[in-house]
Amino acid sequence: MEISLIIRTPLEDSHRLTLARRFIRTAIEQGHTIRQCFFQSAGVLAATQSEQLAEWQRIADITYAELLLCSQAVEEHAVYPESPFQIGGLGALVEAAVRSDRLVSFV
């Protein structure tokens, strides 16, 4: 099964961020594919914090998934993405949703 994720979780909700990463690792262990992680709203800030970068880099390395930061949220929060993140718009999210078997949201 191919899965895409929307992550809107703020940095303050470290438990939910941990759940999102655990979900990804478990899905991979069970033979599923992660197509894309789309970070939107406060999720952009949570993903790009220096403490989080190493973990997201590990996920990118094992899943080969696109890790996209919402272009509007990047502008709104004045975030400058580093690897493994790229900037993408809602069109990329819609395309991933159409091409994936499941779209899972972490709010």
Query: For residue 96, which of 38, 27, 40 has the smallest C-alpha distance?
Result: 38
Domain span at 58 = 2-106
pLDDT at res. 51: 86
pLDDT at res. 50: 87
Q: How many domains does the chain have?
A: 1
| Burial status of residue 20 (CB atoms within 10 A of its CB: 0-12, 13-18, 19 or more) | buried
> How many CA atoms, within 13 angstroms, populate the side-chain half-sphere of residue 106?
26
Query: For residue 94, which of 72, 70, 76, 73 has the smallest C-alpha distance?
Result: 70
Read off the pLDDT of residues 61-79 as tens digits, 9 standing for 90 and up. 999 999 999 999 999 999 9
Confidence band, pLDDT 50/70/90 cuts, at residue 102? very high
Q: Which amino acid is at 4?
A: S
Q: Which helix (H) or strand (E) holds 4?
A: strand 2-7
Residue 77: give its domain's CATH number.
Answer: 3.40.1260.10
Cis amide linkage into residue 84, ω under 30° from 0: yes
Counting residues of the chain whose pLDDT is more than 70, the rounded percentage is 100
pLDDT, mean of residues 48-58: 91
Q: In what order do the strands lie in the sheet with 33-39?
A: 85-88, 66-70, 33-39, 2-7, 102-106
pLDDT, mean of residues 41-46: 94
